[in-house]
């Protein structure tokens, strides 16, 4: 089952505890994930966002497609 692929966008919000990830959003393509992440950051006013792709079952690989604004230096996407 290596063919399973998920494209995801995750916004980040700045709180008194630092940058916190909000609810992830599954997208239909890498471009959709990038545009959704960009929208979270620019349009909805989150501190930042990241678009990434996960592949394999169980997840064997995570690749960051693009980041926008403020995101944690070390992303934990597990």
Domain ranges across the chain: 5-59
Distances (CA, A) of 59 to 2, 54, 78: 9, 6, 9
- The predicted-structure confidence for 4-40, as pLDDT tens digits, reads as follows 899 999 999 999 998 999 999 999 999 999 999 999 9
Q: Copy the structure tokens of residue 61.
A: 């690989």
- The string of DSSP letters for the chain reads -TT-EEEEEEEEEEETTEEEE---EEESSHHHHHHHHHHHHHTS--SEEEEEEEETTTT-EEEEEEEEES--SS----
Pairing between β-strand 61-69 and β-strand 18-21 as defined by DSSP bridges: unpaired
* Position 78 confidence tier, pLDDT thresholds 50, 70, 90: low
What local confidence, expressed as pLDDT, does residue 1 receive?
41
């Amino acid at each position: 089952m290596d063919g399973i692929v998920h494209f995801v966008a995750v916004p980040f919000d700045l709180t008194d505890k630092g940058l916190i990830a909000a609810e992830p959003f599954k997208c239909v393509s890498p471009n959709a994930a990038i545009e959704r992440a960009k929208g979270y950051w620019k349009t909805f006013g989150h501190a930042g966002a990241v678009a990434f792709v996960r592949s394999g079952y169980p997840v064997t690989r995570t690749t960051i497609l693009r980041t926008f604004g403020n995101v944690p230096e070390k992303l934990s996407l597990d």
